[in-house]
Structure 1
Amino acid sequence: MPAELSWGPGVWRAGELGGSCLQALDTGYTALNVVLPGGGWPQGALVEVLQAQVGQHEWGLVAPALAGLQATAPGKLLVLAGAPCQPFGPALGARQLDMSRLLSVQSAQGDAPALLWATREALQCADVAAVLAWLPDVRSAHLRRLQIAAHAHNKLLFVFRPPRAQQESSPAPLRLLLEGVNQEGGNLRVHVLKRRGPPLSAPLLLETRPARLTALLAASRERARLKREETSPLFLQANVHALLDRIAHLDPH
């Protein structure tokens, strides 16, 4: 066996971050693009997203890419299958999403097969650019069919599931776990559980809030800080000393 092998462009070594034979869509977050094979969301593949509280973090994660997708394919739809709550138009509009090109599909409570059917049908539709499906109890075999459909029709597909699914096998080439945080550097911690490449040593911290909201929150924190300082004993004592100094320098005449 030769000491060194000549690796062709189609050969991936497990110790390296893989490239992608699929088109990659910019996630809108530079730090996330850097750790994803191909430099973005894989179009034509299943992206599995695990989170404890449905409806809380997923839009912040995927909205930049979906807005970019709408801009490049203005005539196509974004399909939501089994969304946990009705999309709030003003909030999504603030993220540059066109609500007129968004279609939400619901089923009777507990009718998971209907949602799976709707998801597969949407993936096969030429007028659909991306599909987001909330499938908490989907089985690995069903995920495999969705992965095949997304690949066959070159669709961007996100499937949202609870964290307990982390213990189950999945055909998704990319799996993420989301955690909400409240830190100066961001509000969403992203764990990359599975990718074509070596394990990621640490999670990513992303600021997924719209710029205007981030600025408003920063201003609110600053007002609260100033208010705390104004009512602190040290601040009051300094004010008293300053007042006494001014009185001492007054002309007695």
Structure 2
Amino acid sequence: MPSPRLPEASFPLHLPHVWSGSEMGAQEGICAPSTHACLDAQLPGNGWPVGGVVEVLQAQPEDHVWRLLLPALGQAVQAHAGPVVLINAPREPFGPGLKAHGLPAERLLSIHADKPSARVWATEQALRCADVAAVLAWLPQVKSAELRRLHLASHQQERMFFVFRPLHVQADASPARLRVMVEGHEALKVHILKRRGPPLASPVLLAAQTGRLAELLQARKGRAAPPQAALPVKPITPTPSLAHLATAAIKGPAPGQQKIKEESNVERIASALDRIALPG
């Protein structure tokens, strides 16, 4: 005997974590506006999701991606006392350009690791550090299982988290709540590859940077890259969480795991930690 069919009215119209493929899904949790109105209009929650991985695909690492993220990162450092942690950034960001968008260079903590497993390990430690405002990680060789673990860590800590990967992983499965591909140099094309909603056939076009930022970037191109002088910031005593992060980054994983870096990196990480400016 067939089971009785329930009336359609008995089914809830809206379920958490479920959305129609033809409609924009509701974004759970906090979202940080990108301040690009045409981009925010296409993102569930009208901004970058906080608490889960946001995946950014590029043909090669480029500085212009900072234009997408700086407004949200500026908000993050205002809301949190700790730093924005950069894992294996391809080059040091241009300080005046960051400051022009509300992100002082002294609020950055840069950590480098030679081996892919060490980069993943350092990223997870940063995500679980209570004092960290946001994490940006360049992980071209991250595995699917590792990316899922990082996604869960970001979700549990409600941490802003961006991962940068090459274009050839576009067809791979990803746990990312939002996945975009960025093209261009002056004007940007942002292809939204994955979101809680219908596919977006055309990329979002973002105009070239403002005149002031363009001047700063042009000044950077026209000058050599001498060693940067120490920033005139008052030394601070790091909080226990940040001290643990720096110590972990210097010492590396527990026995049986891959060390994050050799002795040559100790002074670099310790110096970066000393540059973090926390409000007194």
Instruction: Give the TM-score taking structure 1 as reference length.
Output: 0.77
Q: Does 1:168 align with 2:172?
A: yes
Q: How does 1:230-249 map to 2 (within 5 A)?
A: none
Q: Give 1:86 shift.
A: 1.6
Which position in structure 2 is the counterpart of 1:230?
none
Give the aligned residue type for 2:32: L
Q: Which one of the candidate residues 94, 98, 123 is aligned to 1:92? A: 98
CA shift digits 1:47-94 (9 cap, x unpaired): 000011203322111111111222233x12100001001222122222
Instruction: Render the CA deviation track for 1:22-41: whole Å, top value 9, x for unaligned.
Output: 21111121111111111111
Output the CA distance in 1 between the equivalents of 2:215 and 2:141.
38
What CA distance in whole angstroms lies between the structure 1 residues aligned with 2:194 and 2:53? Answer: 12
Partner SS, residue 22 of structure 2: coil
**2: CA distance between counterparts of 1:127 and 1:208?**
34
- Which among 141, 147, 157 is matched to residue 145 of structure 2? 141
State the secondary structure of the residue aligned to 1:128. coil
Q: Report the Cα distance in structure 2 between the residues aligned to 1:167 and 1:23, rounded to whole angstroms.
A: 28
Instruction: Quote the offset at 1:140 in angstroms.
Output: 0.8
CA deviations on 1:170-205 (whole Å, 9 max, x unpaired) are 1112110000055xxxx1000000011100121101
User: Are 1:7 and 2:13 counterparts?
Assistant: yes
Residues 1:39 and 2:46 aligned together: yes
The equivalent of 1:24 in structure 2 is: 31
8 Å CA contact retained: 2:53, 2:154: yes
Farther off after superposition, 202-211 or 16-25: 202-211
Three-state SS of the structure 1 residue aligned to 2:91 is: coil
Amino acid at match of 2:56: V
TM norm structure 2: 0.70
Distance 2:93 2:201 in 1: 34
1:179 — aligned with what? 183
Which residue number corresponds to residue 235 of structure 2? Answer: none
Matched, 1:103 2:109: yes
**Larger Cα Rg: Structure 1 or Structure 2?**
1
Count of aligned residue pairs for this structure pair: 210
Partner of 2:58: 51
Q: Which has the larger strand fraction?
A: 1
Matches of 1:124 and 1:216, distance apart in 2: 34
Q: Does 1:188 align with 2:195?
A: no
1:94 partner amino acid: A
**What does the per-residue CA deviation read over 1:182-232, in whole Å, with 9 as the maximum and x for residues that have no partner?**
5xxxx1000000011100121101136244245999xxxxxxxxxxxxxxx
How far apart, CA to CA, are the structure 2 residues paired with 1:118 and 1:164?
24
Residues 103 and 210 of structure 1: is their aligned pair in 2 closer, same or farther, counting only changes over 3 Å? Answer: farther
1:124 corresponding residue in structure 2: 128
Q: Which has the higher helix share?
A: 1
The code of the aligned residue for 2:154 comes to A
Structure 2 distance, partners of 1:211, 1:39, is 26
Question: 2:200 is aligned with what amino acid?
Answer: L
Q: Structure 2 unaligned segments of length 5 or more: list them.
A: 1-5, 218-280
In structure 2, the CA distance between the partners of 1:88 and 1:215, relative to structure 1 (3 Å rule), is: closer
Kept in 1: contact 2:133–2:159 (CA 8 A):
yes
Query: Mean Cα displacement is larger for which, 31-40 or 64-73?
Result: 64-73
Q: 1:158 to 1:18 in 2, by over 3 A?
A: same
Please name the residue that 2:88 is paired with. 82
1:200 alignment counterpart: 200
1: CA distance, partners of 2:201 / 2:8: 30
- The RMSD of aligned alpha carbons is 2.1
